[in-house]
Structure 1
Amino acid sequence: MTVVLTAAPAAEPVSVAEAKAHLRIDTDDEDALIASLITAARLTVERTLGLALITQTWSYFLDHWPPSCRIALPIAPVASVGAITVHDVDGGQTAIDANDYAADVLSVPARVMLKGAPPSVAPRAFNAFEMAFTAGHGDAAADVPQPIRHAVTLLVAHWYERREPVVLGAAAQEVPATVAGLLLPYRRVRL
């Protein structure tokens, strides 16, 4: 299984202006640093929760289709499944007709199911099946749930104030408990 980002989000869940207001910064001297901290915080939250915050496009590759003919997509929330492509060992590609599979984007995780038997591929074909899908809460920061946006802002503030990776002579502080608490309702629970 391989997941590849094919189109990054066009915006961040928190703007530089919002982060600066939270940090009480009036100058533009550290805008580049704050922007990079926002991106790092978004990526951390997305990776931790298995979410896409702002609309982005991904490709999910599998070596083979499981016997159940069902696949769970690894990132949520999924807005749409764009295409399923079969890659052969000679570099050829065949698109599976949209009528030959069903996508359940309401479930978490989203699921894709072939309606018939999967096409056969060479037994040693790596990444033979590619599913292109769009995930995210929406195109704008306002589409992201407010607790997640607040957690991103708090994480930016935490990293802005603590720029060294390790504080000698003090207990190491990981992600602040407040940030973890804000993200807790969005964690996937496996039963």
Structure 2
Amino acid sequence: MLAQEESGALAASLDELKAYLRIETDGEDAVLAGLLRSAAALCEQFVGQWLIVRSARETVAASQGWQRLGAGPVMTIETVEAVDSEGVAQPLPVDAYAIDIDAAGDGWVRSTRADERRRLAVRYRAGMAAEMNGLPEALRQGIVRLAAEHFMARGNEGGAPPAVVSALWRPFRRMRLA
């Protein structure tokens, strides 16, 4: 189970979207900010990576086999705790688990003392950039264009997003085979 902390940071700026749409007033700011958040969430789903770094807590099996963490790219693995059947978490000594972050940014954890009755709770930070200016321009541009498309298509549901958006995002797409 993966739980994430909301970062509150937008992946593209409201000013960029307003300039793209040629909007000079503040009357639509709340709607536009919501569209930016929605477009960023769609971008994350498409590319299979978190955009802005945020914290996560994930529970995995306490197995001696490596368990891949769900979010990526992983920046740091902060803590590993044992969770018993009652849901009580206890910090583990360093020699009771192993962690790794591979070259692709996938985070891995395993128990060195397997116990079928327990699970591991892992706290970590994942994301491509600390803030929007650290994101690749193509991702930000795709988010702005998708948010603008949704703004302009209000009331006319059913239209497909512009192909340019997926073309901008495709080079960053990471897919996992089951």
TM range (shorter): 0.7 to 0.9
Unaligned stretches of 5+ residues in structure 2: none
| 1:90 to 1:74, Cα distance in 2 relative to 1, 3 A | closer
Q: Tell me if structure 2 keeps the 8 A contact 1:84–1:129.
A: yes
Are residues 36 and 190 of structure 1, via their aligned partners in 2, closer, same or farther at CA, if it must alter by over 3 Å?
closer
Amino acid at match of 1:90: E
Q: CA deviation at 1:107?
A: 2.5
Query: Match for 1:110 among 107, 110, 113?
Result: 107
Corresponding residue number in structure 1 for 2:167: 181
Distance (Å, rounded) in 1 between the aligned partners of 2:176 and 2:33? 34
Are the equivalent residues in 1 in contact too, given 2:89–2:121 (CA < 8 A)? no
Residues 1:34 and 1:70: Cα distance change in structure 2 (over 3 Å): same
In structure 1, what is the equivalent of residue 75 of structure 2? 79
Question: 2:40 & 2:175 partners in 1: Cα distance?
Answer: 21
Distance 2:11 2:174 in 1: 20
2:46 match: 48
CA gap of 1:190–1:47, structure 2 versus 1, over 3 A, is: closer
Deviations 1:63-94 (A, max 9, x none): x2345x21112222110011112211233222
Work out the number of aligned pairs and report it.
176
Q: What is the match of residue 21 of structure 2?
A: 23
Question: Could you tell me how far apart the structure 1 residues matched to 2:3 and 2:105 are?
Answer: 19
Q: 2:106 is aligned with what amino acid?
A: P
Q: 1:141-156, aligned counterparts within 5 Å? A: 141-156=132-147
1:129 aligns with 2:125: no
Q: Deviations over 1:38-71 (max 9, x none)?
A: 1111111112222111111111222x2345x211
Matching residue of 1:169 = none
Specify the alignment match of 1:57 in structure 2: 55
> Percent sequence identity over matched residues?
24
Deviation string 1:114-165 (CA, Å, 9 cap, x unpaired) is 4x233x142xx6xx32211101122221111111101100111110001136
Instruction: Note the aligned Cα RMSD (angstroms).
Output: 2.0
What is the CA–CA distance in structure 2 between the aligned matches of 1:138 and 1:190, rounded to whole Å? 21
Deviation at 1:112, TM superposition (A): 2.7
Q: Which amino acid in the other structure matches residue 149 of structure 1?
A: R
d(CA) in 1 for partners of 2:41 and 2:176? 22
Local SS of the residue matching 1:94: strand
**Paired letter, 1:147:** A
TM-score, normalised with respect to structure 1: 0.82
Normalised by the size of structure 2, how large is the TM-score? 0.88
